[in-house]
Amino acid sequence: MSKRATNLNLASPQLRTRVAVLAAGLGASAMLGVGVASAATGADTAPGAAAGAVAAQADAQSKAATAVKHAEQSKKEAPKGKPAEKKAEKKPESKPAKKKSAWTIPVNNATISATYGTGGDRWANKHSGQDYAVSVGTDVHSAAGGTVVKAGGNGAGDGPAYGNAVVVKHTDNTFTQYAHLSQINVSPGQTVKEGQKIALSGNTGNSSGPHLHFEVRTSPNYGSAIDPAAFLRSKGL
């Protein structure tokens, strides 16, 4: 075996080691290229020079890999921006509960048969109240809390045309009158609450049929009546 062949055989293990290192950084294609180049030039290249070239390439590749690793590590450690705060959802504004009126309609499920100010042969003057057509014996309620000031026949002192009647004084110094009653369940001086039963409807006095005659007054006596429908609307009814 010639001296030249001996040198190639001695260098072959070293070349294989360097090629393996280089393959880790450059890939299979680079390893194949180096192997082919070394085989082609091995006869004219000293073993030390070939090994040095491979080592230099491996070192460069290692430094590049280290730089990439450091860059990735720095990216991970970089402080993240503060996440945007979630916009608070606007809650619908709650509406205040509607205040219950201190007043109520004196009879339930009634039909208005005559209104305030109506003229006709049935009244000496224009109608002084509002008539609710209901059957005899229907519960009659105090339209608001107050004190009974008049109760009895002959319109409780206001005249026979009213039949049996009750008059209640309220805390705002208004008065309500309930007439043509078939039965009275309260007496003068008695305190009543809003909606409390005070009588039963009827057909007494100057009446053309069963109904409740209802008035709102500025005094307990006849002649001081005001429009009851407008008054009740002012109370939210």
Q: Where are the domains of the chain?
A: 3-70, 111-234
Distance CA 214, CA 237 (A): 15
Q: Which amino acid is at 73?
A: Q
Q: What angle do CA 58, 17, 30 make, to 5 degrees?
A: 50
The tokens describing 5, both together, are 């062949």
Q: What is the mean pLDDT of residues 129-144?
A: 97
- Backbone φ and ψ for 200, nearest 5 degrees, come out as -120, 140
Distance CA 106, CA 111 (A): 12
pLDDT digits (tens, 9 = 90+) for 161-175: 999 999 999 999 999
pLDDT at 202: 97
Residue found under tokens 């085989």: 39
- Backbone φ and ψ for 17, nearest 5 degrees, come out as -65, -45
Distance CA 146, CA 167 (A): 10
Three-state SS at 148: strand
Length of the chain: 237
Residue 3, Ramachandran bin (φ over 0: left; ψ between -120 and 50: alpha; else beta): alpha
pLDDT above 60 (res 117): yes
Looking at per-residue pLDDT, the higher value among 233 and 31 belongs to 233
> What pTM does this model have?
0.59
Distance CA 237, CA 227 (A): 14
Looking at per-residue pLDDT, the higher value among 38 and 57 belongs to 57
The tokens describing 189, both together, are 């001086």
pLDDT at 126: 79
CATH number for the domain formed by residue range(s) 111-234: 2.70.70.10
CA distances from 26 to 13, 40, 66 (A): 20, 20, 14
pLDDT digits (tens, 9 = 90+) for 97-109: 666 789 999 999 9
Helix (H) or strand (E) holding 113: strand 111-114
